């Protein structure tokens, strides 16, 4: 591409190709170069010029990088470096060769296929696993950071071709000492995946992420978002007060156990909702493993690869980056 990012420490990033462009920035596949011909493929998230001049946005972007730098978990996209070149900040992060859940659903729709219910539950369990780790994260003194992702949605959950499930984009997360937020003043996140407290401009805690995970699971099973409406305002109203679907009637694969999990994750009254991601993870895993053998990274990866091969696409599948929206 001809564009070169050079860091003060002598580490060099050669941009290979543009992967995604959104309202907040551009994501590139890049080569990280080090000593003695060391080369590593990474993703570079580079913010737009005009946003780099907005103090609040820049503060949150830097806060996101600092927050996720220490989130090292198999179900979270890892951040390697925060850099700056010619007045523009960028984050170097793990390059995931795969697709996000929105792209997976679009592919299923085109193939007129449904995601096997056990794989849908498996994906949701991996999201819960990553959230359990993030929610429990503490600072070096052992004080809870109080991380709430606030944007758990299909665009921000990636499935690698090997079957790993990765939560990404903590750009609107809140956490003590890292990110600024305006809860009670603005509703952040994608309306159809917000928790009722988000949609109603209230203060959120970790249970908000669990509601969003329940929405993602419902969509993976039903092939549709149960709250999405014609406008963001109406969608938020549905999140707050619309009657939940009859899950078992819509999808006979949903048994009583899974129906109970969905309804508890999507409970609007906070005391009735799952209290921790660990509790949700336990119930999801029991749902798919109580009988013995169940889905794995390998079986999920095999399903995704076969789905892609059915398209007869030439060449190897592309790398899909985290969202910049």
pLDDT digits (tens, 9 = 90+) for 138-151: 888 888 888 899 89
Say whether pLDDT at 171 is over 80: no
Q: Alpha helices of the chain — where are they, by DSSP H?
A: 49-52, 55-68, 101-111, 117-135, 196-199, 206-222, 232-241, 247-250, 256-265, 277-289, 297-309
Read off the pLDDT of each residue in 82-87 and give the average, rounded to a whole number: 82
Q: Please list the residue range(s) of the chain that carry CATH number 3.30.200.20.
A: 4-93
Structure letter (DSSP) for residue 96? P
Pick 49 or 185 by higher pLDDT: 49
pLDDT number for residue 8: 44
- Could you tell me which of 273, 280, 290 has the C-alpha nearest to residue 125? 280
- Alpha-carbon span 231 to 13, nearest angstrom: 41
Q: Between the ranges 11-20, 48-57, 67-76, 238-247, where is the mean pLDDT highest?
A: 238-247
Burial of residue 87 (number of CB atoms within 10 Å: 0-12, 13-18, 19+): exposed
Structure letter (DSSP) for residue 53? T
Q: What's the predicted TM-score (pTM) here? A: 0.89
Question: Hey, which residues does 260 pair with through a beta bridge?
Answer: none
Pick 62 or 108 by higher pLDDT: 108
- Alpha-carbon span 222 to 220, nearest angstrom: 6
**How many Cβ atoms are within 10 Å of 313's Cβ, its own excluded?**
10
Q: Any idea which residues carry the catalytic annotation? A: 151
User: 4-93: which CATH topology?
Assistant: Phosphorylase Kinase; domain 1 (3.30.200)
**Residue corresponding to tokens 């399903």:** 303
Say whether pLDDT at 325 is over 70: no
Tokens of 186: 């603005």
pLDDT number for residue 36: 84
Q: Please list the residue range(s) of the chain that carry CATH number 1.10.510.10.
A: 98-309
pLDDT tens sequence across 208-220 = 999 999 999 999 9
- Could you tell me which of 210, 188, 200, 70 has the C-alpha nearest to residue 132? 210
pLDDT number for residue 52: 76
CA angle 124, 130, 131 (to 5 degrees): 85
pLDDT number for residue 62: 81
Structure letter (DSSP) for residue 243? P
Residues 6+ apart with CB under 8 A from 177: 139, 145
Read off the pLDDT of each residue in 89-94 and give the average, rounded to a whole number: 90
- Report the relative pairing of strands 79-85 and 88-93 from DSSP bridges: antiparallel
CATH number for the region 98-309 comes to 1.10.510.10
- Alpha-carbon span 231 to 247, nearest angstrom: 24
**Residue corresponding to tokens 């359990």:** 132
**How many Cβ atoms are within 10 Å of 56's Cβ, its own excluded?**
10
Pick 271 or 47 by higher pLDDT: 271
Pick 205 or 174 by higher pLDDT: 205
Tokens of 204: 């959120």
State the first-to-last Cα distance of the chain, in angstroms, to the nearest integer: 24
pLDDT number for residue 319: 54
Say whether pLDDT at 46 is over 70: yes
């Amino acid at each position: 591409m001809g564009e070169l990012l050079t860091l003060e420490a002598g580490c060099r990033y050669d941009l290979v190709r543009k992967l995604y462009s959104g309202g907040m920035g551009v994501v590139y596949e890049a080569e990280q170069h080090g000593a003695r011909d060391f080369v590593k493929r990474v993703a570079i998230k580079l913010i737009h010029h005009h946003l780099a001049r907005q103090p609040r946005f820049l503060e949150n972007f830097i806060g996101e990088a600092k927050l996720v730098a220490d989130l090292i978990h198999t179900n979270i996209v890892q951040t390697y470096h925060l850099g700056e070149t010619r007045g523009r900040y960028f984050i170097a992060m793990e390059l995931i060769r795969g697709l996000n859940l929105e792209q997976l659903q679009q592919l299923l729709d085109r193939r007129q296929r449904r995601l096997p219910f056990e794989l849908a539950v498996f994906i949701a369990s991996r999201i819960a696993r990553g959230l359990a780790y993030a929610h429990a994260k503490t600072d070096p003194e052992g004080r809870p950071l109080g991380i709430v992702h606030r944007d758990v949605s299909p665009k921000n959950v990636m499935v690698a071709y090997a079957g790993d499930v990765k939560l990404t984009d903590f750009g609107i997360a809140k956490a003590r000492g890292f990110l600024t937020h305006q809860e009670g003043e603005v509703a952040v996140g994608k309306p159809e995946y917000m928790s009722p407290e988000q949609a109603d401009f209230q203060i959120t805690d970790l249970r908000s992420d669990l509601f969003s995970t329940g929405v993602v699971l419902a969509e993976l099973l039903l092939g549709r978002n149960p709250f999405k409406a014609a406008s963001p305002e109406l969608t938020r109203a549905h999140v707050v007060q619309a009657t939940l679907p009859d899950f078992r009637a819509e999808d006979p694969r949903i048994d009583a156990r899974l129906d109970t999990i969905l309804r508890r994750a999507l409970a609007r009254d906070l005391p009735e909702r799952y209290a921790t991601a660990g509790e949700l993870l336990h119930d999801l895993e029991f749902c798919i493993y109580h009988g013995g053998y169940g889905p794995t990274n390998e079986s999920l990866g095999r399903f995704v690869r076969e789905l892609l091969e059915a398209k007869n696409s030439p060449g190897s599948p592309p790398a899909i980056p985290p969202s910049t929206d």
